Structure 1
Amino acid sequence: MVYDGKYINMTLVQPSPELQINIRKELNEDINTRDRDLQHIKEWLMKQPHLPDTWDDTRLMTFLRGCNFSLEKCKRKLDMYFTMRAAIPEFFTKRDMNLPELQALSKIGQGPPLPGLTPEGRRVTIMRGLDKNIETPNLGDLMKIALMVGDIRLEAEEVGVAGDVYVLDASVLSPQHFAKVNPTIVKKFLVCVQEAYPVKLKEVHVVNATPLVDTVISWVKPFLKEKIRNRIHVHQNLESLYKFVPQDVLPEEYGGTAGKMSDFNEQWIQKLKDYTPWFKAQESVKADESKRPGKPTNYEDLFGLDGSFRQLTID
């Protein structure tokens, strides 16, 4: 559905007015000063020669919320967001869900944000593969799709939630898949998500865990901030997951009552296709290092790509 140039739908339930009050407290959002903070960020953005002159209020407010209304943190994160869009073209160009390579990935994996919210007002996303016997998929394209979903949420889908919860289903993960992981692309993705997106990652839950999961977590932890490392929970059964994520938020495939995971995924794949013109228009929205005051960003320094990655060790 298109309205006034924007794609509108009702896929994601938003916080109730009562819950919004609690979320605002958690995010340090003062309704009496937030418009002033927003204007400050808009004026700052217009003075940065290497960044886009203007950006819509909705996304800027989301960045402020993600930074707990710290103006300096918001500026750093916005600068990094536009910088990443130039630094990692493999994530931010050719974002067209109609392309054969992206369509193929949509048939072997699912990763939709769920429509409901936890009692705390957090958005839950479940990510899972569907077939253990497939070849290792193109991780760069999988990460591209994940960031496409993130940008849609940033653009129009969220009015302010209390954070994100990710449920990662490890049931189809195999040593053969892990052995072919490119650590460089993983680090780029994790740096991008942690430094450039206004995401408040509250919990990561790994379900259907096997002994291989411990190896994967140990390998990826050096790429994560300490507070995120401490928020990873591994579950041997779904009953322990329910202590964190209520069943009325989860899909039927995970013992919940919210609907079918496959239906949610199909809705999001269609949404990604509907946004194709928007993604195309957004390709030019990025930092221009030739205009940055002072020293241009060195992308290798940005990602720490110094060849020091640990080798994968799989039993």
Structure 2
Amino acid sequence: MESVRKDTMLKFNPDSLEEVRKELNLEKPGRIDEAIDILDSWVKKQPHFMKKDFSRDYLERILITAKGLVERAKERLDKLCTFKTLMPEFFNVSDDIKKEMEPLQELIHAGHLPQMTPEHYRVFICKLTSENLEAASFFCFYRYMTMLCEYFLQAEYCKGFQIILDYSQINILSFVTKVNPMELRQIITLMTEGYGCRIKGVHVISSSKMVDTLITMLKQVFSAKLADRIHLHKTPETLSEYVPKDMMPSDYGGKEMALLDLNKAWLKEISSKEFLAYMNEMNKASTNESCRQSDKFNEHYIGMPGSFRALSVD
């Protein structure tokens, strides 16, 4: 791509494309086209891929999530397609996703900030206003996160993400007892191993004396590298060390729209007919495991979170 296309929800720094490519050694003329050509040719030769007509822009973003490494990009795309076969419940698209999510609007306020940091990172904020969540509510939110990840693979162009988890208004202990660690680990795996979300930092806001219980749970489901990137903030004020205050929502002292309004805007965007049609199309990018060499499946997927061993591979 010559430039990052304009997006309804996301804004970019003037030099985002150049700086992201430079960090990954993809800035030399012809380098990225060569890498995409190799990746595209490889995709078309995979007998177990159900979809082989990925756009060049999509493949470029896969390459970006793989730090510019073609072999890692192959593995990334293979994992994402495989996860769509192994865990279809995370990808099922409902035409009533907006209606399903509306009850959560008062319990979870979440959204990606439109502006990027000066270092070309995207910021995601998730604030829980109540710990009274049912199991179905958690899973509905996880599917919402999957849809956001799919949105980014056709729109985003950044170096990674700063994640802000605001638990300042809830009973931490009550919340932790309601979380299913396996499902949480699965959605984290989908985001990082499947969609390749490069998480620069996880910032937990809480002054609760029980916050260590939450941090322990997060470290159990995160990779060791990601666990080392958890930062605890007693108040939102110290976030300014990582995210410029001006780009934060108005309820965090910034100039952006309030987090609840941002949440509503994102929900409207991903529940549009256009995006739902795109999501359904991308869900076709699964795998036919009977066409894959079993040793390759065992090498890459046995031991991943979930009941993957139950899959029959001929």
TM value normalised by structure 2: 0.86
Which residue does 2:279 correspond to in 1? Answer: 279
Q: Deviations over 1:54-97 (max 9, x none)?
A: 21111210111111211111111110010111111120113445
Which residue does 1:168 correspond to in 2? Answer: 165
RMSD, aligned α-carbons: 2.3
Q: How does 1:292-303 map to 2 (within 5 A)?
A: 292-295=292-295, 297=297, 301-303=303-305
- Is 1:68 aligned to 2:67, yes or no? yes
In the alignment, the residues of structure 2 paired with residue 297 and residue 41 of structure 1 have an alpha-carbon distance, to the nearest angstrom, of 20
Residue identity in the other structure for 2:189: V
In the alignment, the residues of structure 1 paired with residue 119 and residue 96 of structure 2 have an alpha-carbon distance, to the nearest angstrom, of 32
Q: Deviations over 1:217-246 (max 9, x none)?
A: 212313322221111111012221111111
Sequence identity percentage:
27
Contact 1:135 1:177 in 2 (8 A): no
Residue identity in the other structure for 1:139: F
In structure 2, the CA distance between the partners of 1:281 and 1:107, relative to structure 1 (3 Å rule), is farther
Contact 1:105 1:137 in 2 (8 A): no
- Is 1:231 aligned to 2:229, yes or no? yes
Segments of structure 2 that go 5 or more residues without pairing to the other structure are 309-314
In the alignment, the residues of structure 2 paired with residue 211 and residue 154 of structure 1 have an alpha-carbon distance, to the nearest angstrom, of 38
Which residue does 1:178 correspond to in 2? Answer: 176
Q: How does 1:236-315 map to 2 (within 5 A)?
A: 236-274=234-272, 275-295=275-295, 297=297, 301-303=303-305
Determine helix, strand or coil for the equivalent of 2:114. strand
- Is 1:26 aligned to 2:19, yes or no? no
Contact 2:150 2:279 in 1 (8 A): no
* Alignment size in residue pairs: 297
In structure 2, the CA distance between the partners of 1:110 and 1:196, relative to structure 1 (3 Å rule), is same
Residue identity in the other structure for 1:112: G
Q: Which moved more, 1:45-54 or 1:207-216?
A: 207-216
Q: Which runs of 4+ in 1 moved over 6 A?
A: none
In structure 2, the CA distance between the partners of 1:304 and 1:262, relative to structure 1 (3 Å rule), is closer
Q: Deviations over 1:124-161 (max 9, x none)?
A: 01011233455566322111101111111112x22x21
TM value normalised by structure 1: 0.86
- Report how far residue 48 of structure 1 moved: 0.5
Segments of structure 1 that go 5 or more residues without pairing to the other structure are 1-6, 307-315
